Structure 1
């Protein structure tokens, strides 16, 4: 079936993004609070969230932030963390390959882990409207920028301790998106276990961040891609 891009698809993407705010908002608030702690103004925090739009790399960049900041080191760290968007973009080729102009570049700009997971689930369910990815991404982007602003303002008014449960929002939101990608234990457990084992093993070697994250991501992705290729090869031979 041909891929389409409609307003209805954009609207459905926006609606599917509403529940994501439960995970995105606390994560964004954490980034806003940490940005304030590192001396960023509200305008600087909003600009970073709007242009970078990647929670993991923003947190890492803030941890590396100094006064004056080492721009090259911060930019390089963010780049390395966001390398994972390369296989994510390739995995969304079922829609992206059929888009051009602002539809393609706009969708790429607002694509993050959450919109990727839900878009893959939508496509597996038979969805062919690429507007879903764009609408979901734009809504997520707006929610992210707004929540970091709230975090910055709250951080100036309320003192958050390092043990505050809100700081668990970041890992919790990433764990939650796995539910949308779940298919079956046989298909998903091996790549996920390899990714986790590789990340933990790399961390045990005391390699600096974000090496454990990248090692786990690429190990799991490689096994998952190989298993998909093998399954398709067997199906073709039959």
Structure 2
């Protein structure tokens, strides 16, 4: 009968905790951009008479800033549930591409660990987890993707997002429109930093550019959230064609 090795199990637990801590430390600069954007979302939700509890529930269960902003914009009394659900699926469709990019790094994980972890995936945790896996020089047989690092990043982002969107809903009526203070620019700044960390040369960035131009055109010409899906599809097509060239 095979018995688990207590020393080996303790070593693995210690390694996981170290990776968890490493992820939590690495994400601290990103949180500086997360906090003001979360406050803006909460403040906008308070203008639609949503309570702090409702906002925390929405951001905790969905955890997708773009789709949550879209839902708040569409919120009415009574809410148009089907329209909001459809827009949420549309805006979050980019996660299909993100998941496909991450899939090769998750093959060593059982579904019982991979799927709950992916519930916490957002743009920032995906980018940081993927960049960390790509730049690591691991010993033979050790997976490049660190689940502990990813969860350290993702859990900090998730908890911060819930907490500060709820806080934004509380202080929103007092401070008014937080965008007047420039808080909404913080999210764009975070994305620029993440993209810089994933930069692999001009040739690899061409699908990004094609996706950006396509999304911008759809944003200007077609109302609604179709620009997200259009940018995602354009990026996929461009990446496929560039890989074939």
TM-score (norm. length: structure 2): 0.84
Match of 1:116 in 2: 126
Match of 2:8 in 1: none
After superposing the two structures, state which structure 1 stretch, 151-160 or 75-84, moved more.
151-160
Native 8 Å contact 2:52 2:167 kept in 1: no
Unaligned 5+ runs, structure 2: 1-11, 137-143
Native 8 Å contact 1:27 1:167 kept in 2: yes
Which residue, out of 225, 230, 236, partners 1:210?
225
- Please list the CA deviations of residues 42-78 of structure 1 after superposition, one character each: whole Å capped at 9, or x if unmatched: 1101100110111000000000000110111111111
Correspondence 1:19-34 to 2 at 5 A: 19-34=29-44
Match of 1:236 in 2: none
Please give the alpha-carbon distance, in whole angstroms, between the structure 2 residues aligned to 1:99 and 1:84: 23
How many residue pairs match? The answer is 225
How much has 1:162 moved relative to structure 2? Answer: 5.2
Unaligned 5+ runs, structure 1: 232-238
How much has 1:144 moved relative to structure 2? Answer: 0.8
Any idea what SS the aligned residue of 1:69 has?
A: coil
Native 8 Å contact 2:38 2:164 kept in 1: yes
Which residue, out of 22, 39, 45, partners 2:49?
39
Bigger radius of gyration, 1 or 2? 2
Native 8 Å contact 1:30 1:151 kept in 2: yes
Tell me which stretches of 4 or more aligned residues in structure 1 moved more than 6 Å: none
Match of 1:143 in 2: 160
Is the alpha carbon distance of 1:176 and 1:37 closer, same or farther for their aligned partners in structure 2, counting shifts above 3 Å? farther
What is the root-mean-square deviation in Å for CA atoms of aligned residues?
Answer: 2.0
